[in-house]
Structure 1
Amino acid sequence: MSIELRQLDGSELDRFFETLAHAFGQGPPFPAEMEELWRSLLELKRTVSAWDGEQLVGTASTFDFRVTVPGGGSLPAAGVTAVGVRPTHRRRGVLRSMMRRQLDELHAWGEPLALLTASEPEIYGRFGYGVASEELTARIDTSRVRLTLPEGADELSLRLVDPRDPEVLARCEELYARRVPVRPGMLERRPGWQWVPLRDPAEKRDGASPMICVLAESDGELRGYARYAVRPRWDTGSPHGQVLLHNMEALDPAAHGALLRYLCDLDLTTELDVRSRPTDDPLLHMVSDTRRCHVRPLDQLHLRLVEVDAALAGRTYAAPVDVVFEVADAFCPWNEGRWRLTGDAHGARCVRTDETPELALSVRELASGYLGGTSLSALADAGLVRELRSGALAEATTAFRGALAPWAPHGF
């Protein structure tokens, strides 16, 4: 089968969304609200299309992001999105050819990292992506679970607002921007991306209310916000509603606690459904019984080192490190070989070397450990990292780990 790969033309966007709808098993039309948003955000220069004659059979694109890395700095990162192949053309190498072209382009552009959230986790490992962060989901039985709140939570005032009000949105985005450097994996929001956390298509609500926003304030200063919905339910005449948390940000423990208590205490509800929170979210230490919170971690960011040297030199390290890595990367051969990483909390350097290797691993495992969320020692215990110099594994493991678990605030 002859497949032509080329940049998508703006006149072909209708066919692009039709192909995506088929690829994700929902059939056209693509959800109208989502299509309108993606039309405003997609960059045609970064969008690959695969054609079988006159038929569009595959799509893949990237967004031009910056992502927070350990140490609080940020690096350019390609946010991989809209990857799909028509069901009539699966298992014919279309996806592989698009991934090949995409990574070659990112390499040519000098972008050190690529990120994605996967519909199926097993797909992208063969292209060098490793799971670099997880997200926490929970279903909190608010009728049984008690909260222990931080000092100052009672001093904050709460106010319901329209989440799409321009002034409200601007204040929430300003607070979000203050949070970005705090945690690895956080994404700087470019113009237009402020609307992504507000996605609320009516056909996806499944009986829940439209999105609601509550602000936590002190003397007029915004200290936190939560966006949520309520799904009313009744069981033999008794209220048993669900609160569905969409997203939340807080500047300090008091604001976090005040918002969590508000969500847990809403009338006519007995459950708080928490979606996509960091695996070290403070709520785990505020609840009286985690067993009644049904906590579950899920894979979140899948990360790819497009340029090993720039990626490793672009972050800082929790402890001094001086290790020679033997990196295997069959899909991006420019990363293959030996790299000497030297660094500490103030900066790092990564250069090619002919020195004797001290740790051997694939680029996938290096990606998994990159944001500090996965232990290199744990990967070694699974046989995925080999220690070639005694002590090198412990040194690298300690250096790579971060103070906070990596996490991305939303998909893309």
Structure 2
Amino acid sequence: MTTDVRVLDPADWDAWYASLERAFGGSGEAAEERALWNDLTECDRSLGIRDGGEWVGTAGAFSFRISVPGGAVVPAAGVTMVSVAATHRRRGLLTALMRRQLDDVRARGESLSVLTASEPAIYGRFGYGIGTLQGSLEIDTGRVEVSGPPGTDDVRLRFARPADAVAACEAVYARVVSRRPGFLARGTGSGWARLPLLDPVSERQGASPLQCVLAERDGEVVGYARYHNKSEWDARGPRGTVHLRDVEALDPAGYAALWRFLASIDLTSTVKAHNRPVDDPVLHLVSDIRRCGMRVRDGLHARLVDVAGALQARTYRTAVDVVLDVSDAFCPWNEGRWRLTADPGKAAVCERTRDAADLSLSVRELGAAFLGGRSLAVMAGAGWVRELRSGAVGEASAAFGWDVAAWLPHGF
């Protein structure tokens, strides 16, 4: 067979998506879940490979805007729906799909490509670096108390139907996007506002339908939490679990009020949160961090498709003037030496140069550092970044860092 990559015809979506479902285990999805992904699919950005009449490879992209250090929200390709049939592994299908996709991203003028990986070892060879981490929490609320700053008691909480509260929740979300790198912008009228409401019974594992609580002050919604409640009992009594989907707030008091509520729901003794920032402020509100069961894993993987364009799209924490010798075998247009100069709060400049390099690294490490969540100095300690001028690692690492950890609040 050949590895000819073709653009998806909308009429072929069902068969194309069925091949993706089979590659991910074949169990299929609930009708409402499948319908949402059908609506969200950008067929002109969706690719596939066929063997005869059968789809054996898939890859897609969403047209996202993502927050970067400094608060700007910039275009990015959100790579998704990548699969290769188990019968067609090691034939170059994935490489062909990634080649075509990155060429298309470049042609569209998007300097950044991002993804979440089912298996994190896959995408490094295509230049993706782990740009954000995510934490999971399992809080023993029978032994852990959640405190709050002054004003927490002034916050009013009320239940709301998730569908009725979507506009209020999205308004809060829109205001926090620029505060932390890694957020995906989404509008109330877009399909992405429907994603947090997705609630197929098959995914609840015995828990309640999705519930929503709004935090208000002076009649204004300042935060929200969406969660499932799973009732469990044993000989000692109730030991239910709160499964947190998402929680956001505009100020510390609202955030603390929501967490205090989650940790004190009747008949429960545990709060589980599967995707939180690794520096979540709640870690400063709990009385015993040891009983919060914090675990860390990879989150968003980032790839600079246009080195100069991407590095100029963000701002830098400290002044920097550094020459980067970048290797990029898969996208050779990025190869070579680039001088990055920037002052805090001002537009950065990144241009090709013949000057001697200060640091040597691959585009993968540059992608890992791009959102400010991964340290160039730490990667240098691992041997992935080489210092060619004394002090350059420290200077660049300080400039690329950010006040809060980068974090992707939901998948795609």
TM-score, normalisation: structure 1: 0.98
Q: CA deviation at 1:110?
A: 1.2
Residues 320 and 343, structure 2, Cα contact 8 Å, conserved in 1:
yes
Whole-angstrom distance in 1 between the partners of 2:246 and 2:197: 9
Q: Distance in 1 between matches of 2:75 and 2:343?
A: 21
Letter in 2 for 1:148: S
Partner residue, 2:324: 325
Structure 2 CA distance for aligned equivalents of residues 90 and 24 of structure 1: 14
Alignment of 1:260-275 (within 5 A): 260-275=259-274
User: Which segments of structure 1 move beyond 3 Å, counting only runs of 4 or more?
Assistant: none
Task: Tell me how far apart the structure 2 counterparts of residues 208 and 88 of structure 1 sit (CA, whole Å).
Answer: 37
Matched, 1:6 2:3: no
Q: Is the 8 A contact 1:18 1:30 kept in 2?
A: no
Deviation string, structure 1 residues 258-299 (Cα, Å, up to 9, x no partner): 000100000110000012111111110111111111001111
Instruction: After TM superposition, give the deviation of residue 237 of structure 1 in Å.
Output: 5.2
Q: How does 1:232-381 map to 2 (within 5 A)?
A: 232-236=231-235, 238-345=237-344, 346-381=346-381
- Residues in 2 aligned to 1:86 and 1:310: alpha-carbon distance in whole angstroms: 35
User: 1:148, CA displacement in angstroms?
Assistant: 2.1
SS of 1:267's partner is coil
Letter matched to residue 166 of structure 2: L
Aligned-residue offset at 1:109 = 1.2
Deviations 1:122-170 (A, max 9, x none): 11111000000011101000000112211111111110010011xx211
Q: Distance in 1 between matches of 2:103 and 2:31?
A: 32
**AA of the residue aligned to 2:378:** A
What CA distance in whole angstroms lies between the structure 2 residues aligned with 1:399 and 1:277?
25
- Deviation sequence 1:293-339 (CA, Å, 0-9, x none): 10011110000000000000111100000000000000000000000
| Aligned-partner SS, 1:71 | coil
Equivalence for 1:126: 125
The alignment partner of 2:394 has SS state of helix
Counterpart CA distance in 2 for 1:202 and 1:22 is 21
> 8 Å contact 1:137–1:274 — kept in the other structure?
yes
In the aligned structure 1, how far is the partner of 2:347 from the partner of 2:225? 35
Which one-letter code corresponds to 1:339 in the other structure? W
**What amino acid is the match of 1:382?**
A
Q: Distance in 2 between matches of 1:113 and 1:32?
A: 32
Mapped partners of 2:311, 2:4: distance in 1: 35
* Matching of residues 48-87 of structure 1 within 5 Å: 48-87=47-86
Say if 2:314 and 2:348, in contact at 8 Å, map to a contact too: yes
Tell me if 1:229 matches 2:228.
Answer: yes
1:140 is matched by which residue type in structure 2?
Answer: I
Residue aligning to 1:143: 142
| Unaligned ranges ≥5, structure 2 | none
**Partner residue in 2 for 1:23:** 23
Counterpart residue identity of residue 360, structure 2: A
Counterparts of 1:209 and 1:91 in 2: how far apart (Å)?
Answer: 43
2:384 corresponds in structure 1 to 384
Counterpart position of 2:202:
203
User: Given the superposition, is the C-alpha separation of residues 30 and 16 from structure 1 closer, same or farther in structure 2, using an over 3 Å criterion?
Assistant: farther
Aligned to 2:186: 189
Contact 1:223 1:250 in 2 (8 A): yes
For residue 92 of structure 2, what is the aligned residue in structure 1? 93
**Matching residue's letter, 1:391:** G
Q: Conserved in 2, the CA contact under 8 Å of 1:60 and 1:83?
A: yes
**SS of aligned partner of 1:347:** coil
Secondary structure, counterpart of 2:276 in structure 1: strand
CA contact (8 A) 2:147 2:260 kept: no
- One-letter code of the match for 2:391? G
Residue equivalent to 1:114? 113
| 8 A Cα contact 2:71 2:180, kept in partner | yes
| Partner amino acid, structure 1, of 2:349 | R
Contact 1:10 1:44 in 2 (8 A): yes
CA distance in 1, matches of 2:29, 2:65: 28
Amino acid in structure 1 at the alignment position of 2:64: F
- Structure 1: distance between partners of 2:9 and 2:269: 50
Inter-CA distance 92–31: structure 2 relative to 1 (3 Å threshold)? farther
Residue 72 of structure 2 is aligned to residue 45 of structure 1? no
Kept in 2: contact 1:241–1:268 (CA 8 A): yes
**Equivalents in 2 of 1:176, 1:205: separation in Å?**
24
Distance in 1 (CA, whole Å) between partners of 2:196 and 2:169 is 11
Aligned residue type for 2:182: G
The CA deviation string for residues 36-63 of structure 1, in whole angstroms up to 9 with x for no partner, is: 0011111111000111121111111000
- The aligned amino acid for 1:355 is D
Counterparts of 1:159 and 1:54, CA distance in 2: 54
Aligned counterparts of 1:11 and 1:364: Cα–Cα separation in 2: 36
For normalisation by structure 2, the TM-score amounts to: 0.98
Percent identical pairs in the alignment equals 53
AA aligned opposite 1:392: A
CA–CA distance in structure 1, aligned partners of residues 91 and 283 of structure 2: 45
For residues 73 and 128 of structure 2, the distance between their equivalents in structure 1, rounded to whole angstroms, comes to 19
Q: Deviations over 1:202-228 (max 9, x none)?
A: 101110001000000012100100000
SS in 1 for 2:410: coil
Distance 1:171 1:286 in 2: 25
DSSP-derived class of the 1:389 partner: coil
Alpha-carbon distance in 1 for matches of 2:315, 2:184 = 18
